[in-house]
Chains A and B, each alone.
Chain A
Amino acid sequence: MLLIGADKMSSIVDYTDRNNCILFGDAGAAVLIEPSEDLSLGLQDSILRIDGSGRESLYMLGGGSLNPCTHETVDKKMHYLYQDGKAVFKVAVKGMADVSYELMQKNNLTSDDVAYLVPHQANLRIIDATAQRMGLSKDKVMVNIDRYGNTTAATIPSCLVEYYRDGKIKKGDKLILSAFGAGFTWGALYVVWAMD
């Protein structure tokens, strides 16, 4: 299975919106997923959540069946991403930290057991708060937001690609992948890295 995360965020960003236009970038990243008979490798466990009451905080209203494209939807800038940054930050900080910590507890993982947190790259302060909750030092947190911004679906896979290619992850390393996004939808995966 070829799983690709790719987003051209610049196609839905309003470059007059000073709070949001600075956040996003364009990228694509891919992983090939195959079955393994060695059950100690690969996806071990997950916690996945959804809460649609967050729909007022992060959305793009125009172009769907609710607001089909018209001159008016264009004039009202409804084809751009809208985000209430403060509201999302508050929920994301708690959501990402909670599921990541819960997943460690559920699988009896200590901070020493975890090789890396692989977090969605939306904001470094959310990443830091999640790592702190998990008891992880900064050298155990994958980061590329400084160079790419928030690339939406490409954040976690692009971190995996870069850290793997830099020789920083090895077979058997325990990883916690953790993300938060519009909906709200969020979750964490416990993965044991299988590539040499």
Chain B
Amino acid sequence: MSDKKYSAVVTAVGMYVPDKVYDNAYFESIVDTTDEWIRTRTGIRERRILEKGATSDLATKAAEDLLKTHNVDPKEIDIIIVATVTPDMFFPATACLVQDRIGATNSWGFDLSAAC
């Protein structure tokens, strides 16, 4: 590490979760399970579900939250990497779809899959 000239630092953050909630009671109604079993085995009480749209919508909204909150110009982005195991499709990469929607016109990008 002694020849290191630069360090990679996080300078802005953003996120998005959809509004629709599936709580444990919902799963009690569709499969053979209980709220208590789920909570004690996994720690999960509820999750968010995107009813309409795809991973690029989740990724774009998270990016937009970051850009807006931290006043970042999308034209200054050099590279977009989208980590996902649920890309919108095999190709083009979800990074391309995000690049287009946020107007990151000077960027390169690709997807990264190293799974759940």
A29: contacting residue among B8, B14, B32, B53, CB under 8 A: B14
Q: In the bound complex, do residue B98 and residue A4 qualify as a contact, i.e. CB atoms below 8 Å apart? A: yes
Residues of A within 8 A of B80 (CB): 1-2, 4
Q: Which residues A161-192 have CB closer than 8 A to chain B?
A: 161-162, 164-165, 181-183, 185, 191
- Shortest distance between the CB of B90 and any CB in chain A (Å): 8
Stretch with Cβ within 8 A of B (4 or more), from A97-105, A109-117, A129-137, A146-154? A146-154
Q: Which residues B1-28 have CB closer than 8 A to chain A?
A: 1, 4-18, 22, 24, 27
- Shortest distance between the CB of A166 and any CB in chain B (Å): 12
- Shortest distance between the CB of A97 and any CB in chain B (Å): 17
Residues of A within 8 A of B12 (CB): 31-32, 195
Inter-chain CA distance A12–B85, complex, in Å, is 9
- Shortest distance between the CB of A23 and any CB in chain B (Å): 6
Inter-chain CA distance A171–B103, complex, in Å, is 30
How many A residues touch the partner, as a band?
A: 35 or more
Residues of A within 8 A of B10 (CB): 31-33, 42, 160, 191, 193-195
* Also in contact, A26 and B48, with CB within 8 A (given A5-B84, A185-B115): yes
The total of Cβ contacts below 8 Å across the A-B interface reads 248
Q: In the bound complex, do residue B48 and residue A25 qualify as a contact, i.e. CB atoms below 8 Å apart? A: yes
**A37 on the interface (CB 8 Å rule)?**
yes
**A94 on the interface (CB 8 Å rule)?**
no
**A96 on the interface (CB 8 Å rule)?**
no
Output the residue of B4, B5, B48, B86 with the most chain A CB within 10 A. Answer: B86
Q: In the bound complex, do residue B115 and residue A28 qualify as a contact, i.e. CB atoms below 8 Å apart? A: no
Q: In the bound complex, do residue B63 and residue A22 qualify as a contact, i.e. CB atoms below 8 Å apart? A: no
Q: Which residues B56-95 have CB closer than 8 A to chain A?
A: 56, 58-63, 65-66, 70, 72, 77-86, 94-95
* Also in contact, A26 and B9, with CB within 8 A (given A146-B44, A181-B116): no
* Also in contact, A42 and B9, with CB within 8 A (given A4-B63, A150-B116): yes
Q: In the bound complex, do residue A30 and residue B84 qualify as a contact, i.e. CB atoms below 8 Å apart? A: no
Q: In the bound complex, do residue A30 and residue B14 qualify as a contact, i.e. CB atoms below 8 Å apart? A: yes
What residue of chain A has the Cβ atom nearest to residue B66's Cβ?
A30
B11: contacting residue among A17, A32, A157, A181, CB under 8 A: A32
- Shortest distance between the CB of A187 and any CB in chain B (Å): 9
What residue of chain A has the Cβ atom nearest to residue B38's Cβ?
A22
Output the residue of A6, A33, A42, A153 with the most chain B CB within 10 A. Answer: A6
- Shortest distance between the CB of B13 and any CB in chain A (Å): 4
State the A residues within 8 Å of B (CB): 1-12, 15-18, 21-45, 58, 60, 81, 122-125, 127, 143, 145-154, 157-158, 160-162, 164-165, 181-183, 185, 191, 193-195
